Structures are given as structure tokens and as C-alpha cells.
């Protein structure tokens, strides 16, 4: 324990509302759009879902899009669409949300955990190369915090080994890699519309691709494996449907879709503000003895879903700083504890400390600062001043 740890053990309770690490931005246009659907004949999967799919596909320059109930559902659809099954291996990064690995398990396959680059926490292509076996069928690249991965190298690895490349872009809607939008960099790209993500649909997810076969499979997979959904049957005036293989109820509702549509129109403004806040943090914490922001290496636009820093353990422990900032009303968070060290993967796959040393060492230092479009400059300055105040204790 450092001297700062000792000094910050006295508890301070702030009575004001906690400034969260992320939050949706909802305006009257969003509310009116949802009310409009409530007054329409369709609440579940209907015309607004198709409209939302078309709008997202157009935005990211993909040929097709399939809307589903969550980013997790979209990941599961992607794994099923590329044929992941028992005995297969899929390489995933150790630093990510649980769903990235769990979607592989849903298909009774094995996630194999790759280490991450120490300065960005993006999946390390060298680690990926070292893990490929005859059973490897895909790589899932995660655009951690909103920064696109090294897609040129990952695509080369995938092509060399004749395996699929999937982009978990749940953090990076609107980002670009070189001059290409996230959405056309992999065989399938997956987005999330959870309230803290780049745009909010309440809940929801989407996969985009240029592969028509993946789309046809996913549309059926999200709807119990049925060949045609209720909206299309009503539109065509038919009742008959078939099920060639079981699927799931992963449908998106028109309520969620219309909110997503309304939010999508604001995406450029959301991205602009996220980048402004990140720039303010960058300037404030450049050369800080307390925290170090993650490096930006991608040759393109960062989406800044998260602003992640690494805490200098020589000055203070991450957990002490976490507790202090939250007591001061700054709703910091941690993204993420290494997935391979979760009890399930330890017990079921024999994962252990030492498997991904970079992920394990950096995870003890990670802290996510508040960043969302509705933050005012005063909110940002409060975060900056509160973090800097720690060195004055």
C-alpha cells in the first residue's frame, strides 16, 4: 500500500448524484418516435426494424444488416452463421466483455484467449498467430473502448489460415480504420445498442455483412429458425412457414428499432462530442504521474465509447483510486477483468494466471473515466480536478 492509499482511506460521502461513466442521451425527437410506434399497428418486429437495418447498413457501407435483441444475440448469430460447432476453436481477446467468449460456448465450441497489446489493450496479432491450430475456425477482434483493431494484419492472418474474421464492434459504431468504416472490415461485424453504447435503442444489436448467405441464416436464426417472420407473412398475405433448423427468439421490436433510428441521425454529433471530451482528458492527463491514458494507434477515427486509463501502482492502487473517486461522485468503472480468469473458464477449460500475462498485469490498473455526449465541460473539469486532487492529499 502506498502513502496515497493510506491518506485516502478516510471515507467521504458525497450527497449529489453520481456522474456515471456512461449514459444515454435521449431528446424529444426520440420520445416522439417511440410514441409514434406505440400508436402504430406494429410493436414487435415490423417495418421499423427493416428501416433501421437499411439505415445502419447504409451508414457503415455494408450490403446487409440483421437487427436482433442485443449485441450478445448478434455475436451468437455470427458464430452460428459461420458454422461454429463442437470441436471448433475461436480466438478471442482476454480483455473484453463476457459475451465475446460466451457466444462461442453457446455453439459448444472452445474460445481460445489471446493476449492484448500493452498500450491499447487491442487483441495482439502475434498472440493470435501463436494460437492457431487445425481446429481454429475464426478470430473475433474486439474494438476495445472504440478503437479499431489492426484489421490489415488480422485479415492477413485469417486469409492465410482460411478462417473467418469477426469484428466485435459493440464499442465502435461510427469509427473508421484508415478510410474504411467499421462494418466492412471483417466477414461479419457486430454492434450493440445498449444504453451506454454509442447510440441507444434501449436494448438491441445488429450484425452487418456483405455475405448474403450469412444474412439469410441470421434472419431465420433470430426467429426460431422460421423461414419467414410474421411481418413478412402479413405483408405477403400468407400463413405458411418452415423450420429447417432450430433458432432463438432474438427479434428486435419496432419500439427499439425506431429509437435506434432516431439516435442514428444524431451519431455524428455524438461522435464529435465524445472526441471533444477525450481530447480534454488527453490534454489534462498528459504526463500525469497518477494515470496514463491508453494509446491511440489506429489510423482512423476512434469512437471513444470508453476513456480508459492505467493507474500508476507506484502512486496508488487502482482499487483505492476507484473507491475515492466514487465517493467524490465520479462514477468510474473497470473494463474488464480478464475473461479467461472467470471461474467458469478456469474450471471448464483449465485457464489460469500466466495464460495472458499482458492482459493480467494491465487489468489490475484499468479505470474507465466518465465519458458520454451529455457531459458538459464543467462535468469534464470536475473529473479532471478530482483526479488531480489525489496527488495533493
Q: What is the C-alpha to C-alpha distance for residues 201 and 193, in angstroms, rounded to an integer?
A: 5
User: Hey, how many other C-beta atoms are within 10 angstroms of the C-beta on 279?
Assistant: 11
In sequence order, what DSSP letters do the residues of 308-367 get, joined into one string? EEEE-TTT--HHHHHHHHHHTTB--B-----GGGSHHHHHHH---TTSSHHHHHHHTTEE
Question: All 3 cell numbers of residue 9?
Answer: 482511506
Per DSSP bridges, beta strands 89-93 and 136-142 are parallel
Catalytic residue among 48, 110, 137, 197: 197
Specify the long-range contacts of residues 378-383, CB closer than 8 Å, at least 24 apart. 379/19, 380/277, 380/280, 380/281, 382/19, 382/329, 382/330, 383/19, 383/281, 383/330
Q: What is the C-alpha to C-alpha distance for residues 337 and 96, in angstroms, rounded to an integer?
A: 8
CA 131 vs CA 51, 93, 95, 167, 176: distances in Å: 40, 11, 16, 18, 27
Question: All 3 cell numbers of residue 228?
Answer: 419467414
Contact (CB, 8 A) for 40 and 150: no
Q: What is the C-alpha to C-alpha distance for residues 264 and 270, in angstroms, rounded to an integer?
A: 9
In sequence order, what DSSP letters do the residues of 139-160 get, joined into one string? EEEE-GGG----HHHHHHHHHH
Q: Is 382 marked active-site?
A: no
Contact (CB, 8 A) for 301 and 316: no
Contact (CB, 8 A) for 333 and 21: yes
User: Hey, how many other C-beta atoms are within 10 angstroms of the C-beta on 14?
Assistant: 12
Catalytic residue numbers? Answer: 197
Amino acid at each position: 500500500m502506498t502513502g496515497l492509499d493510506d491518506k485516502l482511506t478516510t471515507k467521504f460521502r458525497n450527497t449529489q448524484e453520481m456522474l456515471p461513466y456512461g449514459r444515454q442521451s435521449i431528446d424529444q425527437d426520440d420520445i416522439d418516435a417511440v410514441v409514434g410506434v406505440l400508436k402504430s399497428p406494429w410493436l414487435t418486429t415490423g417495418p421499423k426494424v427493416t428501416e433501421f437495418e437499411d439505415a445502419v447498413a447504409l451508414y457503415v457501407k455494408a450490403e446487409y444488416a440483421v437487427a436482433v435483441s442485443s449485441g450478445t444475440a448478434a455475436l451468437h448469430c455470427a458464430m452460428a452463421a459461420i458454422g461454429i460447432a463442437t470441436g471448433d476453436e475461436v480466438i478471442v481477446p482476454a480483455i473484453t466483455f463476457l459475451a465475446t467468449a460466451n457466444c462461442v460456448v453457446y455453439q459448444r465450441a472452445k474460445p481460445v484467449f489471446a493476449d492484448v497489446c500493452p498500450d491499447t489493450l487491442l487483441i495482439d496479432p502475434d498472440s493470435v498467430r501463436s494460437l492457431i491450430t487445425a481446429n481454429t475456425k475464426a478470430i473475433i477482434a474486439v474494438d476495445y473502448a472504440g478503437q479499431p483493431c489492426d484489421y490489415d494484419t488480422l485479415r492477413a492472418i485469417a486469409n492465410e489460415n482460411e478462417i473467418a474474421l469477426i469484428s466485435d464492434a459493440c464499442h465502435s459504431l461510427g469509427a473508421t480504420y484508415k478510410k474504411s468504416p467499421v462494418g466492412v472490415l471483417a466477414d461479419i461485424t457486430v454492434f450493440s445498442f445498449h444504453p451506454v453504447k454509442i447510440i441507444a435503442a434501449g436494448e438491441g444489436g445488429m450484425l452487418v455483412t456483405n455475405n448474403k448467405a450469412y444474412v439469410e441464416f441470421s434472419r431465420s436464426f433470430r426467429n426460431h429458425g422460421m423461414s419467414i417472420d410474421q411481418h413478412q407473412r402479413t405483408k405477403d398475405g400468407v400463413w405458411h412457414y418452415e423450420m429447417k433448423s432450430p433458432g432463438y427468439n432474438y427479434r428486435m421490436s419496432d419500439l427499439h428499432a425506431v429509437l435506434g433510428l432516431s439516435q442514428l441521425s444524431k451519431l455524428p454529433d455524438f461522435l464529435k462530442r465524445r472526441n471533444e471530451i477525450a481530447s480534454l482528458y488527453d490534454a489534462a492527463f498528459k504526463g500525469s504521474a497518477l494515470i496514463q491514458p491508453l494509446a491511440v494507434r489506429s489510423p482512423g477515427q476512434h469512437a471513444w465509447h470508453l476513456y480508459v486509463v492505467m493507474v500508476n501502482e507506484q502512486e496508488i492502487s487502482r482499487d483505492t483510486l476507484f473507491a475515492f473517486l466514487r465517493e467524490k461522485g465520479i462514477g468510474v468503472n473497470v473494463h474488464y477483468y480478464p475473461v479467461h480468469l472467470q471461474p467458469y473458464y478456469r474450471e471448464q477449460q483449465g485457464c489460469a494466471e500466466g495464460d495472458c500475462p499482458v492482459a493480467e498485469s494491465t487489468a489490475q490498473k484499468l479505470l474507465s473515466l466518465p465519458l458520454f455526449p451529455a457531459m458538459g465541460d464543467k462535468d469534464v473539469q470536475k473529473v479532471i480536478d478530482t483526479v488531480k486532487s489525489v496527488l495533493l492529499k
